[in-house]
Amino acid sequence: MHFTKMQGAGNDYIYVDCFAEPVPANIPELARRISDRRFGVGSDGLILICPSERADAEMRMFNADGSPAEMCGNGIRCVAKYLYDHGIRRSKTLQIESAGRILSLELETVHGMVKQVRVDMGEPILIPDEIPTTLRSPKSPEQPVVDLPLSVGGREVRVTCVSMGNPHCVTFVDEPTDDWVLGVGPKLEVDPHFPKKVNVEFVKVLNGRELVQRTWERGSGETLACGTGACAVCVAGVLTGRTGRDVKIHLRGGDLSIEWMNSNNRVYMTGPAVEVFSGEWRG
């Protein structure tokens, strides 16, 4: 099976071109084996680039533990780059399907190759049942969960819950240390208040337009970047009064620019997409 490794801000995945290759058998097992950083290729997960009847392509995503995922902001930018650079869809505007949603992307090219991509990530989902979370605002069960106290592993954190097609729990801290990310992150991921588990963002606010983010990703552990998480952080920053709607977020693997538009309630993410190498998987 031919594969290509790509990364967006250090969030790396193995991509399989299912326009040219058959859809692999036993995808969860393949995702676990190929993602292993010692015995496989090494990645945060597996992404299949498939034909779609509704869009230019469909992205099917699986975490490093083999579990399916609904969406990946860094991953979808790389899908767009692959489609353009490999001549499958030679257009600077693309539509890509992921878990039933269709996202619009604008490609910036240099010397005929995609350098970065702007993604319309859609409207944030703030209704608790739709995220999903069983946490409830004291104001109303339908109100967004904003800066709500939650006890996890004997520690209290304040969480803001957002879905960008996948569930996120954002907590603002003085410093996003290993103690938070590696200690509290795994506990929050599987907290019973999140019936489908949750991605967890630990965020330091530098000022109203800049933040530092580390993410514990559901099914993958800490990753160097999380695009949907960065979008959730922007929304949480606005809802808690910490930031404006147009922010730069510094992640361990690079920077993402996020804007939550007041005019149409949609979140836009701009960031890099890089092809690392290709190979043959015979495992």
Which residues are known catalytic residues?
A: 72, 226
Q: How far apart are CA 12 and CA 99, in angstroms?
A: 20
Residue 38 class from Cβ within 10 Å (0-12 exposed, 13-18 middle, 19+ buried)?
Answer: exposed
Q: How far apart are CA 131 and CA 252, in angstroms?
A: 26
Q: How far apart are CA 166 and CA 162, in angstroms?
A: 8
Query: Which amino acid makes up residue 192?
Result: P
Q: Which two tokens stand for residue 167?
A: 């569930």
The position carrying tokens 């489908």 is 196
DSSP class of residue 129 equals G
